[in-house]
Chain A
Amino acid sequence: MKDQAPATTGCRTAPVLKERGQREVFCGLTGIIWLHRKMQDAFFLVVGSRTCAHLLQSAAGVMIFAEPRFATAILEEGDLAGLKDAHDEIDREVGRLLARRPDIRQLFLVGSCPSEVIKLDLGRAAERLTQTHAPHVRVLNYSGSGIETTFTQGEDACLASMVPVLPNTDARELLVVGALPDVVEDQMLSLLADMGIGPVRCLPARTRADEIGVGPNSVFALVQPFLGDTHAELERRGARHLAAPFPFGEQGTTAWLRAIADEFGVDDETFARVTDAPRKRARTAIAGAADVLNGKSVFFFPDSQLEIPLARFLTRECGMTAIEVGSPYIHDALHGPDLDLLEAGPQISEGQDVDLQLERVRAARPDLTVCGLGLANPLEAEGLLTKWAIELVFTPVHFYEQAGDLAGLFSRPIRRRARLHLEAAE
């Protein structure tokens, strides 16, 4: 396990460049796009403005065929002027919605910038609506507003809102926290089951019926690096966090599994029996892309909080050099293990002033820039190769079997540029 050892000088104690200014990021409402697919009996009702509805539609990229399990209750002038009681309006819209969709078992009232600013108390609305619609429907609330949350923090806020209502249990159980595509979640569960660890519970559960308990004997592992509030809520319920690097790439996945295996007393032989074959497969799959990435430099704009673990993956497993690793927020409890493994050198930055950061990327001219969709084409037009960050959130990239795909997401822009010959042949 030599390759698991911390780099001699990691980035955990490196000075962090903290910036604030214009942020080129999504707000937390965006998480609804993947959360509503993951939780099959949940509906997300944003209480907000036309901008919120427009964001959801645009961020989804294409409209989801069939009526999606999310919608926006758009505030109108009458709601703001106090001409109509906003709570009556919410009750009416929710009543209509639930009557039309009897398959809905959990409803999230999602706060937005306007609902926060006018101090619309969605917590009170959720309590009242739960009383009206229980036991068939549970109503919770969280904020996905841009004044409170950055992009993936929306999932954090959603999961954190579920923790206080989870039933108590004294069972010693492992809780795996963070939304994963079902196929990836199944791979993870099967690895853990093969080591004899179980039962393993997942948050979010696929449906309300699958739900889990939590208590002082629970231990939990995070699969997403942006779940700071959920982490705090679970600790409040007495659960204990198993800190580990995030399961990206062969090394990240192994370290993540190792932390859980150690907790549950899995012996080295069992661990090796379960992981040797998929580790080898992952290394082989990464190697294809790593040939292209080796020796290239990468610059991360802050987007999803996946930046630090991904920089660790690209530098340690794909041979890249990180120039700047920007993250919207850095939590030591979550990102520390990955920062330990990230060799000193890159500028770690938190927050954003996009114009200043653009000056830095232009000066550095990295081989690959990881950034949001608003910046990608303009940077390509300046001759910088980019990888759009949102794809890292929407694509299955966790654990061994996806490690090659993850590396492929970064190598594709470079391979593509090498393939295109758009000039005259001479």
Chain B
Amino acid sequence: MYSELLHALPEVIGFSNFAAVIIGVIAGIVVGAMPGLSATMAISVLVPFTFGLEPLVALGLMAGIYNGAMYGGAIPAVLLRIPGTPAAVATTFDGYPMAQKGEGGFALQVAVVSSAIGGIASAFALMLLAPPLSKVTLLFGPSEVFWVAVFGLASIIFLLGGNPVKGLISACFGVFVSVIGADPIYGTDRFTFGQLEMLDGISIVILLVGLYALPPVIDLLETPLKTDGVESSKLGTEPIWKAMPRMKGFWKTWLRSSVIGIWIGILPGAGGSMAAFMSYNEARRSSKHPERWGEGEPEGVAASETANNADTASALIPALTLGIPGTAVAAVMLGGLLVHGLQPGPMLFRENPDVVFGFMWQFLFGAILLILLGGSLATNSFARLLNLPRPLLGSVIIVLMLIGVYSIHGRMFDVYLMLGFGAVGWVMDKLKFPLPPVVLGLILGGFAEENLRLALRIGRGDWSVLFQNTTSLILVALTVAVVVGPIVKRRMIDRRKHAES
């Protein structure tokens, strides 16, 4: 099972495939360092362009960007208290106070080492878990896949946070978009308004580019950002190998945060920011001196940065084996696979082992390269990126988006569709509707519908077919736990409060 993993290795260290990872990591750090630009955005702008590339070059770029961006977000988080990506919010808690104390350089070094460790752990998790899982998923028939999709939809509850109503509206919008196009069984038109271009449904790449790339770019052009005060004097210039001994006490945090990040990545719905918050809280709870947290505790930076990189590769475990992405970024990467005619699922591991296993190696190398590229040569120069003129950057990205979306199918219709979704995304952004539920609703809603109907056809209309085997029942139990769990927990906390007062 794992021999194919080794077989794919020579392929990956070929010049163009390896160069792709290096370029990806650098580009990722740059993108992550720009406040407002996220990994999801960068990869969705990139996906249409990878069409003409070899699959491994394309995937290497994506793996590199993902890893790089998750660290890059720490740079402005530490230096300016502006998280470069949503996943870096928890990094600001202790990173910025460290910079204030003149330890910004050390904070970034902690961030880069922790990011790399999280990324490496995640890549190993992907390598170990995905191949055996891909064998098992052959046993997942329509009724099991239906329940996986329902479980995923239920997990959106984790994303709802402060405002469940808005989150649910977002998810419903996504599910609605999944309904557009030909009926999966009979081929009848649904909401296509006679447009043949809509018959295949809304391409996830088009939706993602519109939703994730356009609003932040508009934002970029709207608000001028003050970036003065980023000087290398603030950073401290100690080389990274000298800083390493100061981090040796972090291993527990690294371990714990890696596990949290990997687990959150596998769960559909949640993503980097959730992983970072959870691991920050857990690390603080088990710290000997929690009072120092928030005042510039390096371990806080380590906790947040380890976890937000540890969810990268693990989010691909359900994506590659079942076609169900764990995070929005994984969803875009699925789009990237589909652009190359690579259909996720058990067959992917059999028909394109070099691509799928090569992709896993690229995640590992991307994480390792992070230390070399992010740590040694570039922390200082990347910090200066923040001084790039934002209007220039914004307009370049818009041009790239338009060309990219046009090039997928070579038609203007897709470009208009993308701009339409961009407008919707911008309004949602302003009204603080969360965007990830839309993407997950689109993917999982379509999955749930199609597989429910296939399962019922196989069962010849008998609903009991959905509960006929253990796998289905386990998935049902998990779904119930995800939905009911938080409600019960809240009740119990309320009751305890009552009892105390």
A, B bound: no
